[in-house]
Amino acid sequence: MNRYTPLSLPIIGALMLLGPVSPAWAQQAASATSPAREAGETMAAPVQIGRTNTGSAAFPSPSTAATALKLDSIPQTDFEKYTGLRRLGLELLTQHTPGADSVLPPDDYLLGPGDEVIIQIAGTVDGEVRARIDRSGMIYVPKVGNVKLAGVRHAELKPTLQAAVGKLYKGFQLSASLGQLRTIRVFVTGSSRFTGSVQVGNLATAISAVVAAGGPSSAGSFRQVELRRGGKVIQTLDLYELLIKGTLVQDQSLQPDDIVHIPVAGAQVAVRGAVNRPAVIELKTGESIKDALQYAGGFTPTAERGRLALQRLSQRLEVGVQEVKWPAGESQPLETGDVVQVYSAVSAASSTQLQNRLVRVSGEVRHPGEYVLPAGASLEDAVKAAGGYTDNAYVYGAELARTTLRRQQEAAYNRVLQDLELNMAKNTSTMQAKDAADLAQLQARQAAESRLIERMRAQKPSGRLVLELPVEARQLPTIGLEEGDELTIPARTPTVSVYGSVFNSGSYALSDKASTLGDYLKKAGGVTKGADPAEVFVLRANGTVVSARQVRSGWFGGSAGFENLTVYPGDTIFVPEQMDKTTFWQLAKDWTQILYQAGLGVAALKTLKN
């Protein structure tokens, strides 16, 4: 018991005015201060009862084993490693679980030795007391004395203390609450991470003891936790009730020396794929695929609900994967080691022949826009959906950009650039400069090659599918549509463009007097002295390429010469330069057809030249 100094005269005077006091210490205090009291001094301040915290060393604190664990620190079972999933229930151990001290005691809670009581008084008596109920069931309140609280209900704590203080003082306000509650010893046995005795709060339940012991081990059960008392199993807990339903009404409060036993886990299966909570799940005898899916949180919005895949560990080398129809097979029982796969309707590879197509139609149609067309629809069906052609439509120059083709062209184009860059480097390494002029020419060539590579890398294939239509075409070929297709119908352009090594590059109007390649080369002023006529090529409006090499080889039966090749509206003529030049056209001529095969059009080559 703590000792306190004698009271001064004003305090003793106040006590005498308040009422009777305990004779043992009041008389001693009065005799020690009587001279001052006889001098007629009056009370200067309320009675200070001081602060104290008694008895804490005599009672153990709750076990600290219930610290939240990190998921990575919990060892994986062989089945978890096999499936790549963790056990359902581990989240109970990886999240902070409040101890019993943070739980508000009910009104009928009976106070006992070890419980901490917090008292605050204000008024004629002022102060705060924190004290534990000792083994005799008492707490000591300074200036008041011992108060018996053992066996008092929580709801009666405040009235009991008010009555005790009120015997000595008047005119005060008192509040009382419980601090840290007394602990009890229980035992956790079986397949838990830590076995043995643990100290838990007086209001702790069986699940509190499970968490305090670190939870079930890798072999422990979440479904059959037993509470044993007096040699009998008085309760069996299924922790999935807490996980799935958010309740655990059967979780009883513990009593001293209770035993919480965690048996070995039952059958375990894995549920993965399009479910809300993929996990390794422990099943009870007789539970089916339906139960496993329920524990896994059910289907996601994107799940394919018509079928499931079941891989049975016992038949992995024989049958492999079985298909289970849903919901017809929902009652099929599961065996330990089974793996249930729920397919995703989004990622599942279904036949493209059964899917609608979203396509875009633009240009010279009456109602440009995006349209959803059924499986099997063709290019002409897309034009019909857009209201048909306008009077100015140039069907011969129709452009079809396809997403799948664009990816192929990008891969091919990147390979072309790598080869081009390698060949240029090899050619440069074999050249030797004999004098300053040769050196300047070599440096100029290297600079031109570097600029060409940089500009070519900036270009992206369009994904154009060359339709190879005749110039008089009035409708598109019967090619089926794919998802994401973009169809553009250009307007008829009554011009032919000439670029490259000519005196006057540009676009020239079509006329009845000019219909051949030679005619339009003349309009451009003819080829320059450094031109290479043998490498001239024409890019048709329909995406095809015709070169002088093809005509000479007899591919078109061009006995009359390439200059007599007929040109059509929208065609573009390119005239490269001779090999000893270092301009763009000379460097690019050997790669022309490859570039167009990669989906680069006239606009891209104009950009490269500039």
DSSP, res 257: T
Cα 120 from Cα 128, distance rounded (Å): 4
How many Cα atoms occupy the beta-carbon half-sphere of 369 within 13 Å?
Answer: 10
Count of residues making up the chain: 610
Q: Are strands 116-123 and 537-539 parallel, antiparallel or unpaired?
A: unpaired
DSSP, res 519: H
CATH of 267-344, one of 3.10.560.10, 3.40.50.720, 3.40.250.10, 2.60.40.1180: 3.10.560.10
Written as six digits, the tokens of 572 are: 């573009």
Report the pLDDT value the prediction gives residue 439, as an integer from 0 to 100.
80
The DSSP line for 220-244 is B-SS-EEEEETTEEEEEE-HHIIII
| DSSP SS3 for 576 | coil
This model's pTM is above 0.85: no
**Which neighbouring-strand residues pair with 488?**
362, 399
Cα 334 from Cα 288, distance rounded (Å): 6
Cα 131 from Cα 114, distance rounded (Å): 9
* Omega of the bond leading into 327 within 30 degrees of 0 (cis): yes
Report the pLDDT value the prediction gives residue 600, as an integer from 0 to 100.
57
Report the pLDDT value the prediction gives residue 350, as an integer from 0 to 100.
56
| DSSP SS3 for 337 | coil
Instruction: Indicate the domain borders of the chain.
Output: 9-45, 53-61+102-178, 71-98+183-262, 267-344, 410-462+493-609
Report the pLDDT value the prediction gives residue 118, as an integer from 0 to 100.
96
Model pLDDT for residues 296-317, shown as the tens digit of each residue: 999 999 999 999 999 998 887 6
What are the residue ranges in the chain where pLDDT is below 50? 1-44, 56-58, 64-66, 96, 98-101, 553-559, 581-591, 593-594, 603, 605-610
Written as six digits, the tokens of 203 are: 């209001």
Residue from 569, 194, 145 nearest 396 by CA:
569
Residues 410-462+493-609, CATH architecture: Roll (3.10)
| CB-CB contact of 88 with 69 (8 Å) | no
Query: 């591919």: which residue's tokens?
Result: 555
Handedness of CA 580, 548, 588, 429 (dihedral sign): negative
Residues 53-61+102-178, CATH architecture: 2-Layer Sandwich (3.30)
Cβ neighbors of 262 (< 8 A, separation 6 or more) are 188, 189, 190, 191, 192, 210, 216, 217, 220, 221, 225, 226
Handedness of CA 538, 539, 544, 549 (dihedral sign): positive
CATH topology identical between 53-61+102-178 and 410-462+493-609: no
Beta strands in 421-505 (DSSP E): 464-465, 486-489, 495-500
Report the pLDDT value the prediction gives residue 21, as an integer from 0 to 100.
37
The superfamily CATH assigns to domain 71-98+183-262 is: Outer membrane lipoprotein wza domain like (3.10.560.10)
| CB-CB contact of 143 with 125 (8 Å) | yes
Q: Burial code of 308-334, b = ≥16 C-beta within 10 A, e = fewer?
A: bbbbbeeeeeeeeeeebebeebeebeb
What is the H or E stretch that residue 505 is in? none
| CB-CB contact of 111 with 152 (8 Å) | yes
